[in-house]
Amino acid sequence: MSTISLDFVSDSAGHSAADVTVVGAVSTKDGPRLHAAPGFESLEEVLTQLGVTGSPDSFARVILPDAPSTVVAVIGIGREVTPETLRAAAGSAVRQLAGTASVRLALGLSAHADVVAVAEGAAIGAYSYTREKGLSERKTAVESVTIVAPEPLSDDEAKRVLETARAVHLVRDLGNTSASELTPEVFADAAVDSASELPIDVTVWDVPKLEAGGFGGILGVGRGSVHGPRLVKLEYAPDGATSHIALVGKGITFDTGGLSLKPANGMMGMKYDMLGAATALATITAAARIGIKTRMTAWLCLAENMPSGSATRPGDVLKMYGGRTVEVTNTDAEGRLVMADGLAVASEEQPDLIVDVATLTGAAVIALGKRYTGVMGNDERASDVVALADSIGEKFWRMPLPSELRANLDSDVADLVNANLSRREGGMLLAGHFLAEFVGTREGSDEQISWVHLDIAGPGDNGSATYGYNGKGATGVTVRTLLALAEQQAAA
């Protein structure tokens, strides 16, 4: 996990203390222009010759003619200067400067929201995964960032920025780890370690406890692997909390598809199928470190989906937690099976809101691409979460749950099927309907507990692409929104 120090200086501070000073350029119809960069006027007339465009993620490192000992990097901001474009520019610059010890960001900040955004982008972008490098070069993340700003962040603001980045980096570390090194039991141990010095209670269900508890979905997915499944519950209950959010995270540490085996190229990237559980873990530990006054529980549904003589077969019927039965028509639709157990057990505690996070469907990637999180839910809390994400610069999009699709989950032998192989349309929405079946009701009422589903199959990992503060591999998407949601609940 990367660490970074943040410092703040006024506009009058010199720029020679850092290894590289970063200025921003915007893209206009008349070509690139520096954005509020006094002292760097000599660059203005040569931006085009230097290959600077001002577009997002464009990056050029130059030496000032009148100060040859000073290294300057020009980062593109785009056409508009907003907190989000500044957050992305700061993160992109720090990410692309990996291998540099110290960086000074002189991005022409005036509004306090811009200072917060730049600090957050820089802290999140200061990440490098080198744990499994052998003899090749290890470019370490930037260690120190100085931000030119009219005033510094408060201690509480700086703490929140750094803890948010720490949480995002935890998701990235777990996601980028090889599946052979992050089996369900290792993931469970990592969760225990992450919470060990925090006011968080942790309970782990191993295979015997899962069997005794009736967690048929998690057991059914994990029984083909020599690495047994786990369910991990983390509970953070600060004094004075008046509301309760339950997070349920999909944690398939590797997904072969089971006996419904994926093609070879379809297995690449399947180590990322545990990002929902990593997100739930990172969010609750960050909330505890920040001291957010919202009760939170996180349920990590961990299994490895492998083909073997003991694996669940297509046509098998699983008895899920709570008693509902599912005919498994596709063992590669395994995430919803483990999540069903998690949603059912989370419902028993009657939280005010359940949010599940999962790399659930390839259909989400087809529908929304690689940068949008698909959102579904059973009431207007789903729209509230989308609006919250939009306000802090994460891309969420609400999808419907059309009632006519529910019949596609009917089974002749069980309560429902986990997938309908004869109907390809609306795959993401059908998965949402499946999950909704396992959300409990309010005590003494037929009304369901408020539930929001986040499908991060697209933006959860970048593969080999990069943008903004997101490098290759796992991104940590939705952590910022979930922390903001916890803060919103505390203030309600």
Q: Which residues fall in the annotated binding site? A: 250, 255, 273, 332, 334
Catalytic residue among 289, 295, 336, 480: 336
The H or E element containing residue 233 is strand 230-236
Active-site residue, 336 included: yes
Query: How many whole angstroms from its chain centre is CA 25?
Result: 29
The radius of gyration of the chain's CA atoms, rounded to the nearest angstrom, is 24
Annotated binding site for Mn(2+): 250, 255, 273, 332, 334
Active-site residue, 293 included: no
Torsion of CA 382, 383, 384, 385, to 10 degrees: 60
Distance CA 92, CA 108 (A): 16
Residue 197 exposure: Cα atoms within 13 Å on the Cβ side: 1
Query: What letter represents residue 364's amino acid?
Result: A
Contact between 392 and 480 under an 8 Å Cβ cutoff? The reply is yes
Beta bridge partners of 325: 319
Instruction: Starting at the earlier edge strand, list the strands of the sheet with 325-327.
Output: 317-319, 325-327, 416-417
CB atoms within 10 A of CB 492: 9
What are the tokens at 41? 């006027």
**360 CB-contact burial (10 Å; exposed 0-12 / middle 13-18 / buried 19+):** buried
Coil, strand or helix at 467 = strand
Catalytic residue among 159, 262, 398, 472: 262
Q: Which residues are catalytic?
A: 262, 336
